Structure 1
Amino acid sequence: MQPEIRPATVEDAEAGAWCHLLCWREAYAGLVPTDLLVERTSDIERRIHRWRTNLADGRQRWIALNPDPAAPVEERVAGFIGTGPGRDEDSPVPFELEAIYTRQTFWKTGLGTRLFDVAVGKQPAFLWVFEDNERALAFYRRHGFAPDGVRKHDPYFGLWEIRLVRS
């Protein structure tokens, strides 16, 4: 059974926040030093507050629901995607893919592509990705994204990011 994808609501904030932090732990293991990763993914209350605030303010988030109806709140969301108007002063296109993650158990199942197709489709977009995140880079290449030569340092995880664009 495949996860159902639907727009997130404020009521999904706790489950979405758990997914967000757990996805960071899974996706960034080996990229971010372990002690820093644990520190940055430990404050669930802060992440719930951010999800709740963003959703209440109308930020667009789509979630993929775990098909297991008995899943605890920590496992209720299998993945998510967030999009919106470009936040960069020099946005190369107007639409930004702000975040896309799936839980590790759903990697290589097509869930990431399903989320991408629902929220982004074929439109031009840009995003930021850690330059050493080969798995994510491969995903974005498959969807037509390429680096535009812009790079910045992410102070939260201490890694370098590159901007990818699909025109």
Structure 2
Amino acid sequence: MSGRETGATAYLLREPAAGDVEGFAELHVRVWREAYRGLMADEVVDALSVETFRPIWSSIARAHAEGAVVDDGRAMLVAVLGEEPVGFVMVGPARDEDAPAPRQVWSLNVAPEHQGSGVAQRLLDEAFGDGPGYLWVAQRNSRAIRFYERNGFALDGTQAQDRHDGVTELRMVRPD
């Protein structure tokens, strides 16, 4: 998609490919262990593995390779530096019945050593744009909350307990 430079570093943003499965499954585990340690129960974080995320990334890569991505506003971009996976974003139609906006940021993750580089901003901008939307963020993930606030999202007072990991999540909304 885009090979523009972010700061002094040239990150390539593109759709996922078949060769990405292992690298992005490993990145997914590493990012979640770093971001959610102390937010999720240790046993949940410790149980995360490449095997957990490999089927997800295999499915994503296969759908993109076969042109089978549902055309309903969803977008999936990965960021690489050379061959190194450094981040990814997943956005799409709202998943909640009481959604405050038609589109949702499903996931945005960047390797810890690349946080603050501008790559998360590029991923969000290219995949989501500047229109209205919403997302869920872990209650104690202050870094992510600040990032989304800089991008026009605001906490709306809605909370939910994630049924898989028990984390309290806060809803953030960006209006029209």
Q: Do 2:16 and 2:60's aligned partners in 1 also have CA atoms closer than 8 Å?
A: no
Q: Which residue of the partner structure matches residue 3 of structure 2?
A: none
1:62 and 2:68 matched = no
1:125 and 2:136 matched = no
Q: Do 2:24 and 2:57's aligned partners in 1 also have CA atoms closer than 8 Å?
A: yes
**1:64-97 deviation line (CA, Å, top 9, x unaligned):** 0123x4xxxxxx3100000111111111111110
Q: Which residue of the partner structure matches residue 38 of structure 1?
A: 46
SS of equivalent to 1:83: strand
1:50 and 2:64 matched = no
SS of equivalent to 2:147: helix
Q: What's the TM-score once normalised by structure 1's chain length? A: 0.86
Pick from 80, 84, 98: which aligns with 2:88? 80
Q: Which residue of the partner structure matches residue 16 of structure 1?
A: 24
**1:88-127 deviation line (CA, Å, top 9, x unaligned):** 1111111110000100000111111111111112111110
Counterparts of 2:133 and 2:44, CA distance in 1: 30
Q: Which residue of the partner structure matches residue 73 of structure 1?
A: none
Letter paired with 1:153: Q
Counterparts of 1:16 and 1:94, CA distance in 2: 28
How large is the RMSD of aligned CA atoms in angstroms?
A: 1.6
Pick from 116, 119, 123: which aligns with 1:111? 119
Give 4+ residue runs of structure 1 displaced > 4 Å after superposition: none
1:93 and 2:83 matched = no
Letter paired with 2:59: T
Letter paired with 1:61: M
Q: CA deviation at 1:157?
A: 2.1
Counterparts of 2:98 and 2:113, CA distance in 1: 36
**Identity %, equivalent residues:** 35
Q: CA deviation at 1:52?
A: 2.0
SS of equivalent to 1:62: strand
Q: CA deviation at 1:27?
A: 1.1
